Amino acid sequence: MIRNVHASRLIEMHMSHIYPVNDYGPLMPGLVMAAVAIFHVFLAQFAVGGGFLLCYFQWLSMTGRNQYAKLFVHGYFKVLVMISFVMGALTGVGIWFTSIQISAPTIGEMVFNFHWIWATEWSFFCLEIVAGYCFYRYHDRLTDKAALTLLVLYTFAAWASLFWINGILAWQLTPGSWVESRSIADGFFNPSFWPSLFFRTIVCLTLASLAGCVLVNMIPNLDRPAQQSLVNRAAHLMAPMVAMPILGVWFLMAMPPDSRGWVLGGSPAMMLFFMISVGASVAIGGYAVIGLWMQRLYINGATATLLLLLAFGATAGGEFVREGSRKPYSIRHVVYSSGILPEEVAELRRIGCVSNDPFPLMHEPGLPNETVTLGAKVFRRQCAVCHTMEGSNAVAHLTESWDADQMRMNIAKLQQTKPFMPPFAGTPAELEALVSYILWVQDDRPSEYAVSEDQAVLQQIAKWMDEAGTQAATVTSMEREKR
């Protein structure tokens, strides 16, 4: 019942509004989103880990365990502030700007369900900023104890903001029992919440540790033994990396079987990014264990920078997999990546997906007639999040070897063509218009273009759509397909 009320509210809200996907030329929007998000996550996790590193070093200095630690605390903090506050905050705002241009329904749904969680997260973020700024401003006047208190406060607030946002991000992939109960607690403490939180915390520590090693090399007038003692201390923060394999497996187990399937071979791109992430993590962990702990090697600026770049690669790969493996959903079972709801599909097949789309097509001048224009709008509404026409993941190229009938059938049965695509959600006439648009682009966009108006074609398309049904492909339907 709750579900139905919620669904009908959503349908109402969605049906009356279309938020066109922005066109980034040859870059597909999903990729633009991923790029901004990856950059932000990297910086934000660095900010959290940096807090832990600073607390540790402040403690080392206060307990007399390392006389240079203090030098490091006061130097490192400036970098942390510059990089994570300034760049982190800018890219954070960038995420909002990008996501509303790419999938307003998705971000709207997230805000609708979790606004209090988000407000809590922002409160901790504010605390983080205030504590951080106070330290930045007054660190040279503070007593050791006051400095430690402020750093602990900063770290606690930074980690807490990770705690809160982690629940929302994990929910997108594994909403779990929330789908039925719609309880905020079920959604927040969803199946991948804990493995994801622990995993991210370890990533934070690793990033800070590596950045610390880079920075030790930049402290002026510090001799080699002093640098070495700092590097060895900073490397301690990489110790929790040993738990990564277990947490990684836990995370994979918490994933829905089809998403896990993409990562473990079902989708070559997903698997590639997964391997990059695992490979880079193993390289960093291996260096930490063998080089830094067993042989107590010194790590120079260049090596530390290289390791930090590897860590960026690992983060990027991991985030890409997390975002990509949700397909065909942007929020599992709730919103498709296209911003269309599963519950809407049947209705859109009846009334059309762009019949109330008033927005002009900015980047497609010279459309020859109404049908092709309609097709371009259908493309924007249903395909443009994940595809471009001729740039990355280009539909005009992917369909090059297909004739018109193959196109019609494979698009009508989109979820069976590739199970990570949502079912087609428009009328047969809209699908035919989309095919005309693709053919027109493949024919180099002539200024005059004849389109078919064959009723038999439309009937055949309707038949194919009925055969495929309005549901997303499930693991079972995929297996049936294989047999």
Q: Which is nearer to ligand HEC, 369 or 393 (CB)?
A: 393
Neighbours of 189 (CB within 10 A): 16
Task: Give the interface segment with ligand HEC, choosing from 62-70, 92-100, 192-200, 392-400 (CB under 6 A).
Answer: 392-400
Q: Which is nearer to ligand HEC, 303 or 393 (CB)?
A: 393
* CA pair distance 464, 483, nearest whole angstrom: 20
3-state secondary structure of 27: strand
Extract long-range pairs of 220-227: CB within 8 Å, 24+ residues apart: 222/68, 222/71, 224/298, 226/68, 227/298
Binding ligand HEC (rule: CB under 6 A), the pick from 58, 172, 277, 338 is 338
Binding ligand HEC (rule: CB under 6 A), the pick from 31, 210, 341, 386 is 386
- Residue at 11: amino acid letter: I
Is 31 an interacting residue with respect to ligand HEC (CB under 6 A)?
no
Q: Which is nearer to ligand HEC, 205 or 383 (CB)?
A: 383
3-state secondary structure of 329: strand
Is 383 an interacting residue with respect to ligand HEC (CB under 6 A)?
yes
Binding ligand HEC (rule: CB under 6 A), the pick from 420, 437, 440, 464 is 420
Longest dimension (CA), the chain: 85
Backbone angles phi, psi at 330, to 5 degrees: -95, -25
Is 50 an interacting residue with respect to ligand HEC (CB under 6 A)?
no
Is 77 an interacting residue with respect to ligand HEC (CB under 6 A)?
no
Binding ligand HEC (rule: CB under 6 A), the pick from 40, 233, 327, 377 is 327
Residue with tokens 């900023």: 129
Binding ligand HEC (rule: CB under 6 A), the pick from 61, 399, 427, 436 is 399
Encoded one letter per residue, x for contact with ligand HEC by CB under 6 A and - for no contact, window 446-465 reads --------------------
* CA torsion through residues 388, 394, 397, 403, sign: negative
Reading the block at residue 330, the tokens are 């942007």
- Residue at 470: amino acid letter: T
Is 416 an interacting residue with respect to ligand HEC (CB under 6 A)?
no
Least Cβ distance, residue 325 to ligand HEC (angstroms): 11
Rg (CA), the chain: 26
Is 442 an interacting residue with respect to ligand HEC (CB under 6 A)?
no
3-state secondary structure of 128: helix
Binding site for ligand HEC (CB under 6 A): 327-328, 337-338, 382-383, 385-387, 393, 395, 398-399, 410-411, 414, 417-418, 420-422, 424
